[in-house]
Structure 1
Amino acid sequence: MPASTKAAMTTPSPPASRESASPALAPTPPTPTVAPSPSPASRWAPWGAALGGLAWFLWLGGGRAIPPTRIDWMIREDWAASGFGWLFYRNAPWGLPLTSSPNQLHPHGTSVALTDGNPLLAVLFKPFNALLPADFQYHGLWLALGFALMGWFGAKLVSVVSSRPTHQLLGGLLLALAPPMAARLGHLTLCSHWLLVAMMWLQLRDTPDAHAAKRSLLWAAALNAVGAGTHPYLVAMLAPLAMALTVRLALGRVISWGRALLASVGIVILDVLIFALFGYFVGSNLGAEGFGQFSADLTTLFNPTDWSRLLPSLPVARRQGEGFGYVGAGALLLVVLSVVGAALRFRALRDLPWRRGLPFAVAVLLLAIYALSSRVTWTGRLVVDLGGLYEPFSRLTSAFRASGRFIWPLCYAVMGGALLLWLRQWRERAWVGTAVLALVVAVQAYDVRQDKSELRRRPEGFRRLQAPEWAELKGHYQHLAIFPPQVQWVCPYNEPLVNATGYMAYRLGLTFNSGYVTRTPPSIAEECNATMRPGGVDGDTVYVVVRQQVGAFLRAGARCGMLEGLPVCVSGQRNDAFAQALTRQPLR
């Protein structure tokens, strides 16, 4: 809590004098309390927590992801979608939407936004494309920044109740050690949980006047803008929390209800505009199956599902990993101590501004209810079926099918709330708060299994096509295609083949028809089992053909041969160096 608020809550009002009791005389105004300036140590505490968050990221295996010129670590599975989303965008012309990428998933096209490629950073880095090396990625730096900002805003959150640097440092470290962050490393853009902690800080910090309220609302709009430029699931959580902030400011009579409504509508419009500008609505079906399965279990806050060294795991359904919300053994210990302490020292908490956090709590609980989805489960077993309740909103639920992710605000509310409650209880004996926080952070760090980190488990390396003949494609062909196309979750998908040929297409500046994107045009499914018709071989396209289709290409007049173990075909009318190279190992 800021020093001025603390002083106002702990300093008794001066007794009324005889003169002030007289109706003939105006009351003497109280002497204003001047808030002391933060100590240098307090100003450095968030930086220390940020360094702690960065150190935790490195311990999780993040060191190999940070160098921008290393891309091998991420050209696999879900990471490949993000990596290729950026790489193909580098070769794409500028257009609207800003992140449109017509040369990926050709001829349908896609956008960085639909590949989880972090459209915000893609747009920021694209102007410098000519200066960047061919193998360049920003995702590792974004991950490192996310863990550092988790510590930073965790420390800022603790500053709401304690100005002590040690408390802020330890509190920031505890939040940076949150298991849901480490468990999300498989989805690069979804690791931006610091946005949720920052929004919680805005909700609970002191906002005494309209000027301070304006700053808070601008902060909230900025957080939403970053979220909209990063991943839509983040905005689906941030927007309701921003609305809760406007309600809190209106209830506290800091702003009018009209301004609160205007701010809420403005933030929503801002999010939608950024979505449109960054290409979330580019000709794809935004819905997908899975709502009711990618959910959070009722045990999620205390169920480590193999992420803990100290606590046993409870069963969950097969797809409920998306609803992972385990807060960690250290955080659970702090929750227990805070609740017990609150029961024993309730009188010391009576002056807490409970109403300040009420709108935030309501928003968090509503998001948590959605996280449970239409099939509410306990240890993976169905408890309540709410399918009829959600049926009218099927378009929304299919767009945000991984409802379990919406448990994250509750996860951080529980961790942050326990921190604030504990430090508030022991503000008169700060050493008690410090000692317990140090113990809790140590337990948390030991409990979380860093060997479960995706950055530690996944081996490096993907196949790079090395034959010098591939270089002959540049300037002579426009398209590289796998036939039939291979698109993850839609068509049969050979990941090593798609990654190898996709990378070659990027390096040669060619379009590519296959890959991994989060949302695809419905028409792509019709092409999964395409067959080559006579005369259907395009003269500007190089085809990597599945073996079953080679005969159809030969009958259509194509020239086919083996190159690095791959059946490759071009139009029979081509007589360039690459076409001639295919005759060295011809397919007949």
Structure 2
Amino acid sequence: LTGALLGALIFLLLYGVRVLDPTSVDWILNNPSPDPAQHYLGWELFRRSPVHLPYIGANYNAVYPFRTSVLFTDSLPLAALLFKLLGGILPTRFQYFGWWGLFCYMMQGGLAQAVIARIAGVQPTFGRGDKSKAAIAIIMSPGQTAKLWGSVLGAGVLVLFPALTMRTFAHEALAGTWLVLLALYLWLRSDELMSATRRACLLWGLMGLLCAGIHLYYLPMVGLVLAGYAVRRALQKRGPAAVLLPIAAFCAAALAELFLLGAFAVNFAGYSNGYLSGADYLGLFVPWLAPSWEQNVYMGLGAVLAVVLAIFSVVCNARKAERFFTAHHDWVVAGVVVLVLDLLAAGGNAITVGGKTLFTVPIPQFLMDFWAMFSSCARLAWMAGLLLAVAACGLVLRFWQKGVVPALMLAVCAVAQGWGQRGELFNRWTDYHYYGFRYENKTLLTDPVWEQIAASGRYSHLAFATFDFEHDEFWDLVDFAADHGWTSNSFYMAHMDGNLAAVTLPGELNELSADTLYAFIDEDELARNSYDLHYYRLDGILIGSVEPIDGLEEEPAPEVPAHTMDLTKSDVDPLFLAADGIVLGMNGEMMTEEWTLFPGRYRVTLTGSGFDHSYIYARYGLINEETYKLDIDFTGIDPNEMTFEFTATEMLHYWRVAVHTLDDANVTVNSVTVEKIV
């Protein structure tokens, strides 16, 4: 309970109390990352989605008329299902992510303290007090009391575990690192709680349900702890049933839940993206070795210090440590097996240490396709970090006779853990306590006509012309649709086949419907003359309707629709970015942002300077598939302006313009404008 209260205190210090208001959602939608908006809006679309058995977790409103699952919008499926049952009494805007964050911090602190105390051997003895009273007294020596408070300080190290800090209100479901601690706690108490195989199957089956209902990445992490449980049962010679049946129960429960959530019946499912993003093994101890945010597995300065102090404690108390490890050799062997398996899984098929890839393991393609479901496999190393941290804190307390000494050691570790993240923690405090920034309604849809359109009752569907969620307008429009019970034909999901969605969703325009409001964002405006719709512009966003919208003035159709590309979204070395465009030096190259172009004839105009020292072309092609160069006709050639035309006989997906320098002369690109001339 003390560790849980510590977790709650740290959470409230970092995030305040306004995130706990279930009707406050602006702090989610205002997040610089689109992930929290995806999680919240995935829930909002799911809460109003119809239910068709047996897939109780299916979402029919997010990519209408197709089916997806609340699982793949990372909306905490178990919570989403619970609150969907209460949907009729909930306010229009309702979020549970703030309370989930508080719950995660409390569970992290409470379970960390419990696990550390277990390893440390801090076991209060309960006895009767005065016979005339029915009170229960906790009988502990001063040394034990100091160690008990030391376990609280150790919990402080785990509450500030970097993965929990990074994922809270960024990728909320992954903030459930306490699931690993819960698995470790059950494992440590397995002789008491799971003496019977039947009870072991029940408890590990419940763990399977929790993992599948929170986030898929916790299935392999907790599954590896279960593997340690099975190894120890094998060393105890408990028989095949005690070893294998809990594993079967864990897998069966998780698979059954995933089936009900609709995980195996999702349209546009793309479970494999063909790569593994593995961890650098030294990255657990060295913070700057992670090549990307996803591969950051650092367990924190305080946790690393705890490991060092644990080794120091073992050396200083060699005889005591030898007796302890000999008496618990089965735990040691099983723990080593868990660590090795976890590091192998987290590394992917490339063994990387200290920023250098030592070798790559050849993996058959079918196995790669399966394992790539967990392509960000570096996350699995969190389990190793959590195990090392709690084991280190527990061993520091275990091997010192006087409890004050190890308690002071862990106090230093807790302070170091916070100090090592001081920048990130300060940013969190600033973001969530500066109310004007975080909690203000910043929707781009400010025109009151939006509400008039919704109140008319004529529309029940929102349809985007193409699959492209890399726009602020996209999320505001989906939020508008979710608030009013509409469906959306486009949404971003984990494990989504983006290529299939990009090819399929433009088909929404093949059969226009009067109950659908069509949205044309950025380059989609080039297609407006191809469809017989009434067009209007609200807050700068082009919308279309089969029937006229009363009280609104239509926007005249331009003879030649044109749109200018956003050069800041180009794929280019940041060193080449200038105030008024992009300046390419020797061996410089740029690729513009990716667009979807409807069939037609197009003209592209580049302005700048030095184009006589450049090579310019256009290409298109689906992600991770072959790309194609277009046959283009240059109709204007000038060092300061280049114009070319081309014909698209079919939809061009992920179309881009490329500019390369040919020598050491600078090439400047100030603008790229695209016109649909036919």
**TM-score normalised per structure 2:** 0.71
Displacement of 1:385: 1.6
How do 1:249-288 residues align onto structure 2 when only pairs under 5 Å count? Answer: 249-253=233-237, 255-281=238-264, 282-288=266-272
Q: Counterpart of 1:52? A: 6
What count of residue pairs does the alignment treat as equivalent? 514
Higher helix share: 1
Letter in 2 for 1:221: G
Deviation readout 1:343-366 (Å, 9 max, x if unpaired)? 232211233213124224312321
Question: CA separation of 1:511/1:59 partners in 2, compared to 1, >3 Å: closer, same or farther?
Answer: same
Which segment is superposed worse, 51-60 or 183-192? 51-60
- Select the residue among 209, 226, 230 that pairs with 1:242: 226
How do 1:433-582 residues align onto structure 2 when only pairs under 5 Å count? Answer: 433-449=406-422, 451=424, 456=430, 460=438, 461-463=441-443, 465-471=445-451, 472-474=453-455, 475-487=457-469, 493-494=470-471, 496-521=472-497, 523-527=500-504, 536-546=511-521, 549-550=524-525, 552-571=527-546, 574-575=547-548, 579-582=549-552
How do 1:25-104 residues align onto structure 2 when only pairs under 5 Å count? Answer: 47-61=1-15, 63-75=17-29, 76=31, 77-95=34-52, 96-104=54-62
State the secondary structure of the residue aligned to 2:217: helix
Q: Distance in 2 between matches of 1:372 and 1:99?
A: 32
Question: CA separation of 1:162/1:61 partners in 2, compared to 1, >3 Å: closer, same or farther?
Answer: same
**Whose RCO is larger (CA < 8 A, sep 6+)?**
1
Displacement of 1:126: 0.7
Q: Counterpart of 1:403? A: 377
Question: CA separation of 1:316/1:343 partners in 2, compared to 1, >3 Å: closer, same or farther?
Answer: same
State the secondary structure of the residue aligned to 1:350: helix
Question: CA separation of 1:153/1:399 partners in 2, compared to 1, >3 Å: closer, same or farther?
Answer: same
Q: Counterpart of 1:25? A: none
Q: Distance in 1 between matches of 2:344 and 2:183?
A: 19
Displacement of 1:379: 4.0
Q: Distance in 1 between matches of 2:475 and 2:90?
A: 21
Q: Is 1:498–1:514's contact at 8 Å kept on the other side of the alignment?
A: no
Q: Is 1:60–1:450's contact at 8 Å kept on the other side of the alignment?
A: no
Displacement of 1:272: 0.7
1:322 partnered with 2:294 = yes
Question: CA separation of 1:285/1:532 partners in 2, compared to 1, >3 Å: closer, same or farther?
Answer: closer
Q: Is 2:5–2:109's contact at 8 Å kept on the other side of the alignment?
A: yes
Displacement of 1:208: 5.3
- Select the residue among 122, 137, 147 that pairs with 1:162: 122
How do 1:194-209 residues align onto structure 2 when only pairs under 5 Å count? Answer: 194-205=178-189, 207=191
Q: Distance in 2 between matches of 1:410 and 1:454?
A: 26
Q: Is 2:205–2:251's contact at 8 Å kept on the other side of the alignment?
A: no
Q: Counterpart of 1:124? A: 82
Question: CA separation of 1:367/1:586 partners in 2, compared to 1, >3 Å: closer, same or farther?
Answer: same
Displacement of 1:285: 2.6
Question: CA separation of 1:218/1:152 partners in 2, compared to 1, >3 Å: closer, same or farther?
Answer: farther
Q: Counterpart of 2:165? A: 182
Q: Is 1:481–1:513's contact at 8 Å kept on the other side of the alignment?
A: yes
State the secondary structure of the residue aligned to 1:404: helix
Q: Counterpart of 1:147? A: 105
Q: Distance in 2 between matches of 1:139 and 1:390?
A: 40
Displacement of 1:172: 1.8
Question: CA separation of 1:567/1:208 partners in 2, compared to 1, >3 Å: closer, same or farther?
Answer: closer
Q: Distance in 1 between matches of 2:192 and 2:106?
A: 29
Deviation readout 1:273-322 (Å, 9 max, x if unpaired)? 11111122223434243633x22112211222xxxxxxxxx3442x3x22
Displacement of 1:83: 0.8
State the secondary structure of the residue aligned to 1:504: helix
Which segment is superposed worse, 212-221 or 152-161? 212-221
Q: Distance in 2 between matches of 1:499 and 1:548?
A: 17
Letter in 2 for 1:93: P
Displacement of 1:210: 6.0
Deviation readout 1:313-335 (Å, 9 max, x if unpaired)? x3442x3x223222222222221
- Select the residue among 171, 174, 191 that pairs with 2:154: 171
Q: Distance in 2 between matches of 1:420 and 1:326?
A: 20
Q: Distance in 2 between matches of 1:140 and 1:210?
A: 34
Which segment is superposed worse, 438-447 or 397-406? 438-447
Q: Distance in 1 between matches of 2:537 and 2:186?
A: 61
Displacement of 1:367: 1.6
Segments of structure 1 that go 5 or more residues without pairing to the other structure are 1-46, 305-313, 488-492
Question: CA separation of 1:556/1:200 partners in 2, compared to 1, >3 Å: closer, same or farther?
Answer: closer
Which segment is superposed worse, 435-444 or 110-119? 435-444
Q: Is 2:465–2:506's contact at 8 Å kept on the other side of the alignment?
A: no
Q: Is 1:337–1:422's contact at 8 Å kept on the other side of the alignment?
A: yes
Displacement of 1:449: 2.2
Displacement of 1:135: 1.5
**TM-score normalised per structure 1:** 0.81
Q: Is 1:155–1:172's contact at 8 Å kept on the other side of the alignment?
A: yes
Letter in 2 for 1:434: A
Segments of structure 2 that go 5 or more residues without pairing to the other structure are 124-144, 559-678
Question: CA separation of 1:540/1:553 partners in 2, compared to 1, >3 Å: closer, same or farther?
Answer: farther
How do 1:107-118 residues align onto structure 2 when only pairs under 5 Å count? Answer: 107-118=65-76
State the secondary structure of the residue aligned to 2:397: helix
Higher strand share: 2
Displacement of 1:441: 1.6
Letter in 1 for 2:235: L
Q: Is 1:60–1:182's contact at 8 Å kept on the other side of the alignment?
A: no
- Select the residue among 360, 371, 383 that pairs with 2:346: 371
Q: Distance in 1 between matches of 2:382 and 2:323?
A: 29
Q: Is 1:98–1:278's contact at 8 Å kept on the other side of the alignment?
A: yes
